[in-house]
Amino acid sequence: MRFLSARLAMVALLTAAMLQVDAQTTRSKTTNTTRKPTTTARKPASTTRKTTAQKTNIKETDTNLVVKAVDTIPKVIAPEPPRELIKLDTVKKSMRSTSSLVRNPEKDRTPLEYEHIREEDATYVQTVWRELDVREKMNQSFRYRADEDDGNQRFINILLTAIRDGEITAFDAGITGEDDRFTTPITLQRIGEILVGKCKTEQVPDWVKDPLGQKGILKDTTICPMFNPDDIVKYLIKEEWIFDKESSRMFTRINGIAPIKISVDENTGIVLGETPAFWVYYPDLRPILARQDVYNSKNSGGRMSWEELFESRFFASNIVKSTIENPFNLYIRQFIKDPILRLLEGEAIKDKIFQFEQNLWTY
């Protein structure tokens, strides 16, 4: 009995020990299974940190690239706008009447239309170029300097104002004045370059950095010559003489007017040459000239319009070129050097046109 009881006690102790070992193994398994999700949950955190670090690195590299690209782009300096070589001052209008007469402020005069001439009836046609000198006594109205409500009264100012306002179109006359067929329109800025030249850059003393002028400091400055209307003293007029057999009349039609630029040597003052600056188509200019009055030195009340002056031939001029016996299309000055003989040749051309009309009649 004692042996059985001791043996049962031993079995009980063994079973208790085995139960403790099983409990410990189950505890370790449960702890391992609970820790695994925590480790798997930490992995995404580490990956997010890596991705954010990579994104920040990429952003930093992108910003560096952008900064470098901005630094490499050259700075574009906007060019200075071209300076106006021809400045036409706006004349202030009178707020009170300066005349004792009641004048119509709105001059809405329109020129009469030309009489139609059929090509079949034009039995005689000649083209003539005339040179008009404003220094002659009969042409003093072309250089009248007064200002009135419709602007300055110089004829060149009337032309340039109409070009600036877009009422007429100016055409290039070519380098030597050979283009008189109204082929190439030009702007007022280009006209200024033709008449006075382009702006020049010269070095002058810098009195700000060198007030005493002892250091010899220079700076660049732009010098632009200004246009003087009184420098235009000649005009070239292109016209046609047409005999209409239907009405038995000789018609004179002006095609264009061109101010003449006189080139002078700055050092010696010698005249180098004369060339037309630009051409204006006269039929387009007629409505504008009809609104402008001409200065009358004899009677201010007996004024006429510029359109009436040209149509009535109230100006003095000399013929400098024609299509009569001129197969090489030359000016008279190109084959006759003596100025007196040039005038006589122009008068001979005028006489040939006159004699053609007179020979058509029998007395």
Backbone dihedral region of 177: left (phi > 0), alpha (psi from -120 to 50 degrees) or beta? left
* CA-to-CA dists, residue 21 to 14, 80, 179, angstroms: 11, 98, 121
Beta bridge partner(s), residue 281 = 256
Give per-residue pLDDT as tens, 58-82: 444 444 444 444 445 555 555 555 6
Do the domain assignments include residue 17? no
Torsion of CA 309, 313, 319, 323, to 10 degrees: 110
Between 199 and 337, the more confident residue is 337
Cα–Cα distance between 316 and 86 in angstroms, integer? Answer: 28
Rounded to the nearest integer, the mean pLDDT of the chain is 81
pLDDT for the residue 38: 45
Task: Give 265's pLDDT tier (boundaries 50, 70, 90).
Answer: confident
Residue 91 has pLDDT above 70, yes or no: yes
Assess if residue 245 is contained within a domain: yes
Q: Which of 99-108, 217-226, 310-319 has the lowest mean pLDDT?
A: 99-108
Confidence of residue 50 (pLDDT cuts 50, 70, 90): very low
For Cα atoms 207, 212, 217, give the angle at the middle one, nearest 5 degrees: 50
- Residue 63 included in any domain: no
- 281 part of a folded domain: yes
Residue 252 falls inside a structural domain: yes
- Give yes or no for residue 124 having a pLDDT over 70: yes
Residue 196 counted as domain residue: no
pLDDT at 33: 47
Residue 27: predicted pLDDT: 59
Torsion over CA: 12, 18, 19, 24 (sign): positive
Q: Is the pLDDT of residue 182 over 90?
A: yes
Residue 176 lies in a domain: yes
* The total number of structural domains that make up the chain: 1
Host domain of residue 173? 123-187+228-359
Mean pLDDT to the nearest integer, 179-190? 94
How high is the pLDDT of residue 47? 47
- The answer to whether position 280 is within a domain reads yes
